[in-house]
A and B are shown apart, each in its own frame.
Chain A
Amino acid sequence: MNELVILVVEDEPEVRAEVVRDLQGFAGTIRVEQADDVADARDAIDEVEQAGDRVGLIVADHRLPGGETGVDLLVSLKQGAGTGTIRTILLTGQAGHQDTIRAINDADLDHYFSKPWDPSELVAVAAGLLTDYVIGAGIDPLRYVRELDGSRLMAAFAQRGRPD
């Protein structure tokens, strides 16, 4: 298997459906999974790992039910073993200023979108971050040349095997 996964964490089904649909263009090579809240997101990550796949990007809402926020999730992933390299996008309608600061400082947040989001921008940012992840994780870049940033992936491929 060894598939790359984008995980969308959002509690409102209508919003979740739209985010997933906006990211559906990656579905040929990158799977889009979804979760309702932080606990569900952890389950989803476990499922992905058990299947031998890896989560490359998380798109999380800030406000989530169940006691933990999207920022809490991102912070814990950043500190967790094996999840620290996952790229992160915070997608939120009303994160307080303090939460955003915490996300950037403690979760090393890669990108911040406020609702309503621009779908083409979301796709472009997601592609860039997944490209970073693929190159950083040492995954075969050729597989993602079509969906992600092809020229950077080709350059990375050309660098492979050469001494630093």
Chain B
Amino acid sequence: MSGRAVVLVVDANATTGAELVTDIRALLGGLADVELVKGADEAVGAADSIHAAGGLVPLALVDLDSEAHRGADVVVALHQHPQLTATRTVLMTSRVSLHDVDEALQLGAVNGMITRPWTELGLGSLLTAQLATYLVEYAPDRLDEFGELLDDEDLTAAQERMEQQRAAPALDATAAHPLLGEPMDDTEMTRRLIELLDRALGHPARLRVAPGTIMIEEGEDVGGIYVLIDGAVRLTSHTQAGNKVMHEESTGAIVGLLSLARHRRALLGCQAVSDVRAIPITLDQLARALTIEPELGGLLTRILISSLARRLRRSQELQLELDESLAALSEARAQLVASARFTALGEMAAGMAHELNNPTAALIRSVAHLTDDVDAVIDDPSVKATILRRLDAPAMPSSELRALRRQIADAVGDRVLADRLIGCGVNSTDEALALTNADDDELKRLEASTQLAETIRNISGVAERIQSLVASLRAYVRGDDGGGVVHPGVEVTTGIDDALRMVSHRLDEVEVRREYETVPPISARPGALQQVWSNLLINSLDAMHDEGLLSIRVRTTGDAVTVDITDSGPGIPPDVQSRVFEPRFTTKDGQVRFGLGLGLSISRQIVEEHGGTIGVDSRPGHTVFTVALPVEGVV
């Protein structure tokens, strides 16, 4: 025989209070009574009379929205009344913030919370959970009474709880500390944690949130932690690159505990990514639970370690990803800088070649016209003969010139006169002796005409050299601005000679040996081939440090034209030979440079695009790069 079980509804507003009473009555189906009271005093009075009649008050729902009283005060008053201390207290509010009931929370006087408008389902699960907790704790013998109200899970939990209370002593000295106990998987540990928290805190309210709900704002004050029952959350951090997801898979079952190390400022933001069921635990609740349940501390530590380990792994992964990205980035940057530089140089060279082409052509034409004009203007036959002879004569080597001057000086007996006679274009002692009687005017005229002829010859020779340099430059850059157009009649040897001319400034100390057989013209992209020859020549010269022997052999092999470029450099070590055509491979200080690494890999690409092959054979002092290009390689 036992007294009534009464659920108290504390609401100053008669209308909303009555609605809640009606709903609760319907849900309880007569298993417990429901009484509406207006405030703390009425509630205390009601509780006293219920107790006097042998009844109990398992649950009080306190309205928080009323203007008539401060909800927090009501809760505190109920909690301090002896007959109501054990009563489960649930807040009813339309607000989502728990800020103004802090003091009630601090006392551990709040067991749950339900928001307006409530749903039948929400209210129902709250009622059964709170009733179950109360009954297990204070009136286990009356559990059966409410059997149909409580679901199986609650009943099972309640029964386990009673078993424990009955059977086990509070402390088992033989049991291992939870931190060192049998390994448990995360799900198991979380389940146990929730169980312990429920026991210590009297089944704290569960919180359900929809996907997208922000549960913790980064940097804000955190009043407690969340224990995740199910669903997924992600932890995010504001970064310069936007909101970065730090953990999702790696979150773990407890969120917010790390903030305690940061003066309760949240380290990371927390957002639900699915429907989430979580238990919000205030710091005071946590402190209380840790005191009540000795096992909890160890378990919590264990879960935290496991969770931190998971987060640490994730952060190591992030660090590795970052390192890899940085390495890739710096490599890409080096390549970009190198390639941008050579693109710029290439464009400049192309521009220069075009700009130089016109004045050079004009220069060559001008020299030809000058020669014709000189011929037309000069009447004196001896002067004309001197000029024409000098125009065609090749320049005399210095040593011959010095010997000639000595001979003439001996013959005419006057060094200064000998100099003048040579300046007149004299080539032998006989010619010199024939002029010894010439007067000063005659000598001056002959000197001037010889000088004129030599000047024209020099201008003409120099202009032709400029023209051939410009032509080489144009041939060299054609591949870049011509977009790799295929020409049917490309002369391989001409291309190699053009490339040689482009590196002629490095050939002073190099003996260049050319063995060119007569080979058929091939079908190819001339600009691209120029790049191959230049890359190979530059590569060889780099290896030789610009001195030694460079042999270039061009021959026909079946349907292909084969070019061997051999240098006398130190050679490529055997283990490296197979990799020299790999992109970015370089034997020079790991630097990406034109004609190295990149150069050889580009060369291979071009040769293969032409249907050809490229290979290397190297021993110290003898390194051969062999390129074979089919005559009908590309069409």
Chain A residues in the interface with B (C-beta under 8 A) = 1, 3, 13-14, 16-18, 21, 27-28, 31, 33-36, 40, 43-44, 47, 51, 63-65, 67, 94
Contacts and interface: CB of A to CB of B under 8 A. Distances in A.
B556 interface: no
Given A63-B508, A65-B508, A13 B416 contact: no
7 contacts: A13-B461, A14-B395, A14-B458, A14-B462, A44-B399, A63-B508, A65-B508
A44 B415 contact: no
Contacts of B221: none
B415 A14 contact: no
Nearest to A66: B508
Interface in B463-520: 505, 508-509
Contact of B454 (A17, A27, A31, A40): A17
Contact of B398 (A3, A36, A65, A67): A36
Contacts of A35: 398-399
A1 B409 CA distance: 12
B29 to A, nearest CB: 101
A17 B459 CA distance: 11
B473 to A, nearest CB: 17
B99 interface: no
B451 interface: yes
Nearest to A47: B402
Contact of B402 (A1, A21, A33): A33
Contacts of A14: 395, 458, 461-462
Contacts of B398: 16, 33-36, 40, 44
A31 B458 contact: no
B184 interface: no
A28 B402 contact: no
A28 B416 contact: yes
A107 B595 CA distance: 35
Given A14-B458, A16-B398, A36-B398, 13 more contacts: A3-B415, A13-B395, A13-B458, A14-B461, A17-B458, A31-B419, A34-B398, A35-B399, A40-B399, A47-B402, A47-B406, A67-B509, A94-B505
A35 B462 CA distance: 20
Contacts of A63: 508
A27 B415 CA distance: 10
Contacts of A28: 416
Contacts of B590: none
Contacts of B395: 13-14, 17
A34 B451 contact: no
Given A14-B462, A31-B415, A21 B451 contact: yes
Nearest to A1: B415
Contacts of A1: 415
A110 B397 CA distance: 28
B401 interface: yes
A35 B400 CA distance: 10
B508 A18 contact: no
Nearest to A41: B398
A44 B419 contact: no
B399 A36 contact: yes
A18 B419 contact: no
A11 B227 CA distance: 89
| Size class of the B contact interface (CB-based, 8 Å) | 10 to 19
Interface of B: 395, 397-399, 401-402, 406, 415-416, 419, 451, 454, 458, 461-462, 505, 508-509
Given A65-B508, A94-B505, A43 B399 contact: yes
A44 B451 contact: no
Contacts of B461: 13-14
Contacts of A51: 406
A118 to B, nearest CB: 19
Nearest to B460: A14
A51 B458 CA distance: 31
Contact of A34 (B402, B415, B416, B454): B402
A44 B402 contact: yes
Contacts of B402: 33-34, 44, 47
A13 B393 CA distance: 13
For the complex of A and B, 6 pairs with smallest distance between CB atoms: A13-B395, A14-B458, A34-B398, A36-B398, A35-B398, A14-B462
A64 B508 CA distance: 7
A27 B419 contact: yes
Nearest to A14: B458
Contacts of B415: 1, 3, 31
A151 B461 CA distance: 42
Nearest to A48: B402
Contacts of A17: 395, 454, 458
A58 to B, nearest CB: 13
A161 to B, nearest CB: 30
A6 to B, nearest CB: 12
A1 B398 CA distance: 22
Contacts of A36: 397-399
A50 B458 CA distance: 32
A99 to B, nearest CB: 12
Contacts of A34: 398, 401-402
A31 B398 CA distance: 14
Nearest to B423: A24
Nearest to A39: B399
Interface-centre pick from B398, B399, B508 (highest chain A CB count, 10 A):
B398
A43 B505 CA distance: 26
Nearest to B507: A65
A33 B402 CA distance: 7
A3 to B, nearest CB: 7
Contacts of A67: 509
A47 B197 CA distance: 112
A16 to B, nearest CB: 7
Contacts of A94: 505
A98 to B, nearest CB: 14
B392 to A, nearest CB: 15
**Most chain B CB atoms below 10 A, which of A14, A18, A36:** A14
A40 B461 CA distance: 23
Contacts of B458: 13-14, 17-18
B399 A27 contact: no
Contacts of A13: 395, 458, 461
Contact of B416 (A16, A27, A33): A27
A53 to B, nearest CB: 9
B98 to A, nearest CB: 76
A35 B402 CA distance: 9
Contacts of B505: 94
A79 B43 CA distance: 119
B405 to A, nearest CB: 8
B245 to A, nearest CB: 55
Contacts of A43: 399
A64 B398 CA distance: 14
B87 to A, nearest CB: 94
Nearest to A9: B398
A64 B505 CA distance: 11
Contacts of B397: 36, 40
A15 B397 CA distance: 13
